[in-house]
A = this chain, B = another copy of it.
Amino acid sequence: MTAREQNLSESLEDYLETIFLLIREHAVARSRDIAARLHVNKSSVTGALQALAERALVNYEPYGYVTLTPAGAAAAQKVLRRHEALRDFLVKVLSIDAAEADANACRMEHAVSKTVVDRLVEFAEFVETCPRAGAKWIRGFGYRCQEAAAMPEKKECARCIEQCLDEVKSQETPGATKTVSTTLSKLKPGERARIDKIAGTGPVARRIADMGVTKGSLVDVVRVAPLGDPIDVKIKGYHLSLRKEEAAGIAVTRLAQA
């Protein structure tokens, strides 16, 4: 449903995605680079840009710079979210190697409904988070895939159980889980936290609520600008840029790195 939701063909979605990424990387998207990334002829790019301009997704005039309209940027980000969610799932959960995961993700991204992507994101989080599943468990699957011969299943499963017992025990020990409460604005790039409370009811609170973010959701800090403003985070697969004051209103519990 996704591609059709906005009457955007797979092809046009890829153009949008590519333009968005090029702008992010090089500040500007040149026709030449779009062509190179998508492995198409430059005349095909012109055609696509005209199609996107007709749909008011890009600002285009011959020989001029190409920029995304707000609608275009929004559409591009949706595609990108699907791409990243699928890629991360393939890499982190299924242990597919990076290149193949990316290629598959970029084809699958046009085929999955929002429901499925949301669920996929949630599942990846669940796998990394649930004390019973845990990152180590999934790593066990990774090993099994990559070194199936070297690690016979029975042995792997026995190890599995041991780890499980250990982890469950340490989880149950009172005080073992020392929660470090803070706010989102205090985190550094690469850190992960669990959302405890979102203050206020402003546009940011609403935007976050629209993403299905609830009290227990995970948040990853992607990038923090020099003075801590803005702060780029990823929640439920969505990239989000928050003002420092907005981030300060979000109470979180810092988590151990994945």
Contacts and interface: CB of A to CB of B under 8 A. Distances in A.
Interface of A: 1, 90, 93-96, 100-101, 103-104, 107-108, 110-113, 115-116, 119-120, 122-123, 126, 130-133, 137, 140-141, 144-145, 148, 152-154, 157, 160-161, 163-165, 168, 171-172, 214, 216
B104 A113 contact: yes
A175 B153 CA distance: 19
Nearest to A152: B216
Given A95-B119, A104-B111, A104-B113, 16 more contacts: A100-B115, A104-B112, A107-B110, A108-B111, A119-B145, A126-B144, A131-B160, A131-B161, A132-B132, A132-B140, A132-B157, A132-B161, A148-B214, A152-B216, A164-B164, A165-B168
Contact of A168 (B1, B126, B161): B161
B132 A119 contact: no
A216 B161 contact: no
B112 A126 contact: no
Contact of A160 (B96, B130, B216): B130
Contacts of A152: 216
B131 A157 contact: yes
B93 A123 contact: yes
B116 A94 contact: yes
Contacts of A160: 130-132
Q: Say how many copies of this protein the assembly contains.
A: 2
Contacts of A100: 113, 115-116
Chain B CB within 10 Å, residue with most, of A94, A131, A172: A94
A132 B137 contact: yes
Contacts of A165: 165, 168
A111 B110 contact: yes
Nearest to A154: B216
Given A96-B116, A116-B100, A160-B132, A216 B108 contact: no
Contacts of A148: 214
Contact of A116 (B90, B126, B141, B216): B90
Contact of A94 (B120, B157, B214): B120
Nearest to A117: B104
